[in-house]
Amino acid sequence: MSDGPRGNAGAARSRYAYDPVAQPDMYEGILSKRVVAFVADAIIIVFLMIPAALVVFIVGIVTLGIGWLLYGALFAIVALGYVALTLGGPNSATIGMRWAGIELRTWNGGPCFAALAVLHALLFWFSVGLLTPLVLLVGLFTARRQLLHDLLLGTVMVNSAALVRMESR
């Protein structure tokens, strides 16, 4: 492994992008921004459910009621499709995350991709469902303000503006 521009002292830390000690602005206000982004995305998903429900209704009529079985999975299809297309897209952020000014990155600084975005959402819902919303308190005790599903997947949520400033240097 190359020592890089930091020499031997920085070699251990250079494996991870976005050091919370050297770059505290990357994580400033992340937890509250995540809450704002979650609420915004939940509202967007509810509005996306309306046309999706109409499509399932029409499919149900055409298939003599069989298509109406899709109503059971409609939320999962819409929500996971939304996450895969937005969080897994080129911006590495959902629409709510863009409004809040945050984006998801891998532990080494790489952008998010569709499979990781879907897995991130699924682990979030399973961790909150199984361990209660108290699992979100994990973010108060981690240096990078990571939640449980972030730690399991090796992802970090960072401020978009700080990321732009860092990449332009």
Q: Does residue 102 have a pLDDT over 50?
A: yes
Give the pLDDT confidence score for residue 86 in this predicted structure: 98
Give the pLDDT confidence score for residue 11 in this predicted structure: 42
Q: What is the pLDDT of residues 47-92, one digit of tens each?
A: 999 999 999 999 999 999 999 999 999 999 999 999 999 999 999 9
Q: How far is CA 143 from the centre of its chain?
A: 18
Residues 50-82 as b/e (b if ≥16 CB within 10 A, e otherwise) read eebeeebeeebeeeeeebeebeeeeeeebbbeb
Q: Which of 1-5, 45-49, 52-56, 156-160 comes out lowest in average pLDDT?
A: 1-5
From the list 107, 106, 85, 74, the residue with the least C-alpha distance to 41 is: 85
- Give the H or E element holding residue 23: none
Q: What is the pLDDT of residues 10-37, one digit of tens each?
A: 444 446 788 899 899 999 999 999 999 9
Q: What is the pLDDT of residues 121-151, one digit of tens each?
A: 999 999 999 988 888 899 999 999 999 999 9
Distances (CA, A) of 44 to 49, 83, 96: 9, 11, 8
Q: Does residue 2 have a pLDDT over 90?
A: no
